[in-house]
Amino acid sequence: MFRERLTDAATAIQAQFDAVLGALQPLPVVQAMGHATNGGKRLRGFMVLESARLHGIDPARAIWPATAIEALHAYSLVHDDLPCMDDDDLRRGQPTVHVKWDEATAVLAGDALQTLAFEMVAHPEVGEARADLTLSLARASGAQGMVLGQALDIAAETANTPLNLDEITALQRGKTGALIEWSATAGARMANADLAPLQTYARALGLAFQIADDILDVTSDAETMGKATGKDDAAGKATFVSLLGLDEAKRRADDLVTQACDALHVYQADADVLRDAARFVVARKS
């Protein structure tokens, strides 16, 4: 059921991107936006749609914030891949935007995807929750959330002392976890329901996701991952794996998945697909 729902979410989100981007002028920057938003697991958008389903929200309303979070995530990747950041040539098995076009186009495509995300999350079809969704997305994506985590990550590269476990955990709660938490709670926001169960779920899931990424960075390869691997180790950066060791990192990720699943007990069997999503996060190969 999870795989089917994830595929259905990816298909619906791609169709929404095709419609929204197809209405724009076919300029290189728009083509670059399409390239950046094509492919990927769509896990964040899936979580929006699934949390909306859990709260009885019409999918025609939920598709807007679901596509918005994927646009915002894509913007972060486009900028993250730039030479001034991580300097990556490959993303999702394809050339990164600045490689396929140029750095200026990549910067502008990222800028446009970020603003498109807020345009979509504030769309009238979203309904009364659009103001709350917009404000919370701004906080999750900016200097209180994802960007803060990215800034801490960059600072750590030149720090005299490697980060400790608590510092890495705080960094990743912003860099990776903030958008995952927003995604998982979007349906509850749209229904004006209690956010707490899904917040607890998402916070555990976000850390498990990052630990799994750190594990894959040392155990997988570029062909499987669709992006470069081993860069953190080569740069001497502290990660969950470097601090905990591979086996303990795997155990920590499994424990976090258990915590995430337990947090959904109030939804009983209705949340089984979200539980399967948590298990997928640590079992994935890319």
Mean per-residue pLDDT for 205-211? 95
pLDDT band at residue 238 using 50, 70 and 90 as cut-offs: confident
Domain count for the chain: 1
pTM over 0.75: yes
Structural domain of residue 249, as residue ranges? Answer: 2-283
Residue 16 has pLDDT above 80, yes or no: yes
pLDDT band at residue 223 using 50, 70 and 90 as cut-offs: confident
Residue 4 has pLDDT above 70, yes or no: yes
What CATH number has the domain bearing residue 9? 1.10.600.10
List, for residues 130-166, the tens digit of each pLDDT value: 999 999 999 999 999 999 999 999 998 888 888 999 9
Mean per-residue pLDDT for 210-228? 81
Region class of 13: left (phi > 0), else alpha (psi between -120 and 50), else beta: alpha
Residue 85 has pLDDT above 90, yes or no: yes
Higher pLDDT, 231 or 217: 217
Percent of the chain with pLDDT over 70: 96
Supply the pLDDT for residue 88.
Answer: 94
Residue 224 has pLDDT above 90, yes or no: no
Q: What is the mean pLDDT of the chain?
A: 94
Supply the pLDDT for residue 235.
Answer: 65
Supply the pLDDT for residue 231.
Answer: 67
Residue 232 has pLDDT above 90, yes or no: no
Residue 47 has pLDDT above 70, yes or no: yes
Residue 207 has pLDDT above 80, yes or no: yes
Supply the pLDDT for residue 13.
Answer: 98
Supply the pLDDT for residue 225.
Answer: 60
Least confident of 21-35, 171-185, 206-220: 206-220
Percent of the chain with pLDDT over 90: 86
pLDDT band at residue 230 using 50, 70 and 90 as cut-offs: low
- Please name which of 67, 83, 70, 22 lies closest in space to residue 179, comparing C-alpha atoms: 70
Supply the pLDDT for residue 221.
Answer: 78
Q: Quickly list DSSP for the chain.
A: -HHHHHHHHHHHHHHHHHHHHHTS---HHHHHHHHHTSSS--HHHHHHHHHHHHTT--HHHHHHHHHHHHHHHHHHHHHHTSTTTT--SEETTEE-HHHHS-HHHHHHHHHHHHHHHHHHHT-GGG-TTHHHHHHHHHHHHSTTTHHHHHHHHHHHHT-SS---HHHHHHHHIIIIIHHHHHHHHHHHHHTT---HHHHHHHHHHHHHHHHHHHHHHHHS-HHHHTS--SHHHHTT---HHHHH-HHHHHHHHHHHHHHHHHTTGGGGGGGHHHHHHHHHHHH---
